[in-house]
Amino acid sequence: APLGLAVNIFLRKKTDVVFLPGYIPPLFCSKKFIITIHDLNHLDLNDNSSLFKRLFYNFIIKRGCRKAYKIFTVSNFSKERIVAWSGVNPNKIVTVYNGVSSLFNADVKPLNLGYKYLLCVGNRKTHKNEKCVISAFAKADIDPAIKLVFTGNPCNDLEKLIIQHGLSERVKFFGFVSEKDLPSLYKGSLGLVFPSLYEGFGLPVVESMACGIPVLTSLTSSLPEVAGDAAILVDPLSEDAITKGISRLINDSELRKHLIQKGLLRAKRFNWQNVVSEIEMVLTEACDGNK
């Protein structure tokens, strides 16, 4: 059904522009089209790539970038990468930051797990830098009663590292967390620890801020762009920097208050109304250009 609908749209004579929220370009479409590329992680990250993906990007998506009327992306970091990789004019690429759901707000009820915890929202992929998080947490100068909670399920490598550091009672895996329950998990935490090596946007950073939770994140990729001055920014390749950042996040009460206040203001910039308005403006421009 979706394929048939797409074909019908492409063939309609009255169609001014075709907007695809995904990154697969309609190369044989005679209409003006706009695609969306969130990032180039399938090219930039070895553990998220394959020969097929690299070929697909370099021969199909790159051609689509050159043929597209406009390309939406979610950060200036991603825009710069797409320009460098595809060779398209920077003016063709429009940065539209992601919005955060209204479910994530300062009034959400915190989840009571029966203990204090730091939260790490991830998926066990190498670029999430979770091994470094565990090792840094083990050395952080904080109350030993504080635990580290991960979303998702454990993997063998992390389980071995947890045992190695003697953290079996302090590191917990929460399993799958629905979007409905995630705000309460954020709100119940002492802070988000998210020193990822690579993000096209970094939604957990904004979700945490919207819930009034202080954030530690990376100086790399899109993360400083998204976090601004409302987070502790660390070198994700430095275990020592992450360790010190965790200690500051927990122990510096004035800093915590500052980050919470700054974060709440920062999060307001990332709303879906802005997303709709910015996309609508580009689509209107594209349609008017056909008249």
pLDDT in tens, 274-287: 999 999 999 999 88
Q: Partners of 18 in the beta sheet?
A: 33
Q: How confident is the model at residue 48 (pLDDT cuts 50, 70, 90)?
A: confident
What integer pLDDT is reported at residue 13 of this predicted model? 52
What integer pLDDT is reported at residue 290 of this predicted model? 61
For 68-95, how does the pLDDT look when each residue is reduced to its tens digit (9 = 90+)? 999 999 999 999 999 999 999 999 999 9
Q: What is the pTM of this model?
A: 0.91
Q: What are the DSSP calls for 107-162, one per residue?
A: TSPPP--SS-EEEE---S-GGG-HHHHHHHHHH--S-TT-EEEESB---HHHHHHH
Closest of 104, 117, 74 to residue 207, by C-alpha: 104
Sequence-distant (6+) residues with CB within 8 A of 139 are 239, 243
Same CATH fold assignment for domains 2-99+271-288 and 117-267: yes
Residue 264, pLDDT above cutoff 70: yes
Residue 254, pLDDT above cutoff 70: yes
Strands 171-173 and 192-194: unpaired
Sequence-distant (6+) residues with CB within 8 A of 130 are 120, 122, 124, 150, 158
Distance CA 182, CA 103 (A): 9
Closest of 199, 173, 205, 171 to residue 186, by C-alpha: 205
| Fold designation for 117-267 | Rossmann fold (3.40.50)
Q: Pick one of 3.30.43.10, 3.40.50.2000, 3.40.50.300, 2.40.240.10 as the CATH number of 2-99+271-288.
A: 3.40.50.2000
| Spans of all domains in the chain | 2-99+271-288, 117-267
